[in-house]
Amino acid sequence: MDAYKNRHRAKRNLDINKDPLFADPFVLTTLHKLDELERQTRLECDPHGKDRAAFQALMYASWLVKHVAGWAIDHQRGLAENGLHFVPRGANQTNNSPSYLAKRAQVDQHQHEVAGSAGAPLDPGQLRLFVFNVLRAMPRLGLPHELIEALEALDFGQILPILAKAETKKRLGLTEYKAKLAAVCFIEYQYKRGIKKLVSIEDVAHAFQVSREAVKDWNVEVREALGNYEVERVTTMARNMGAHTRTMNSGSSLVLEAEKKVGKLAMLAAAERFKARAKKPTPVKSARRPR
């Protein structure tokens, strides 16, 4: 059943009464990986590689949460889609009040998990509420409480310091720089696939509605804004993808995947984001239902 796609037993056709969670091979394997990373990074060990190990540990932990509690994340997404959030218990007197019971009836429904598992597109207000719903349930992660409060404050038209814009001398925002970087990657990818850079530059200029001379300066511009290593990292990946798929048929799965990541599809999507920067931002509507 599609609604159960994020319930680990349903995905593997396991018996809910005979197959305990702690015996699931994926759970055991992931816990083993987490245990190994913890052993390798203790304070008495050589710290070389610790940053990568810490990132991997959190990544594995997120896989584990998705595997064992994906249904709960689906529920939070479904709540957000309907402008709802977790309803906490109060004192005994309020727990029997009509308003509390009405709120509980709204959230205690299977339809929210079903809606969340469908993964329908959410508008910015719903996406924000989805993030709020998930973070609110995970205080043990140690994330700043101020961040959760700041997400909620946006629905009141208030921007708290943790979400305030940083002071910067950069001329453009992150969206514009990343769009330009996608264009640079596209040019490098195409070049390794045998297409001259002038041809790709012309394609970028047309899609972004800028001059060819402007596009030629973007390689240097994004390096100054995003850092040389970050640009070299992603452009190298683009070149490798281009070289690897050069002789492949345009309909092959690897080429189609490369096109989405660094090819023309990625470039055109970046161009749309770049052109949207000139439009006046539209205030995001709150996804929450009236209190």
pLDDT digits (tens, 9 = 90+) for 227-259: 999 999 999 999 999 999 999 998 999 999 999
Average pLDDT over residues 97-126: 94
* Structural domain range at position 235: 174-276
Q: What angle do CA 216, 193, 215 make, to 5 degrees?
A: 10
Do 11 and 96 have their domain in common? yes
Residue 2, both tokens? 């599609």
Single out the residue in 100, 120, 140 at which a domain terminates: 120
Single out the residue in 96, 120, 144 at which a domain terminates: 120
Q: Is residue 111 part of a domain?
A: yes
Do 182 and 114 have their domain in common? no
Do 187 and 114 have their domain in common? no
Q: How many helices (H) and strands (E) does the chain have?
A: 15, 0
Q: Is residue 251 part of a domain?
A: yes
Q: Is residue 197 part of a domain?
A: yes
Do 9 and 109 have their domain in common? yes
Asked if pLDDT for residue 145 goes beyond 80, the answer is: yes
Do 189 and 254 have their domain in common? yes
C-beta of residue 271 within 8 angstroms of C-beta of residue 208: yes
pLDDT digits (tens, 9 = 90+) for 26-72: 999 999 999 999 999 999 999 999 999 999 999 999 999 999 999 99
Do 20 and 99 have their domain in common? yes
Beta-carbon neighbour count of residue 248 at 10 Å? 14
Do 182 and 81 have their domain in common? no
CA distance 255 to 272: 22
Domain count, the chain: 2
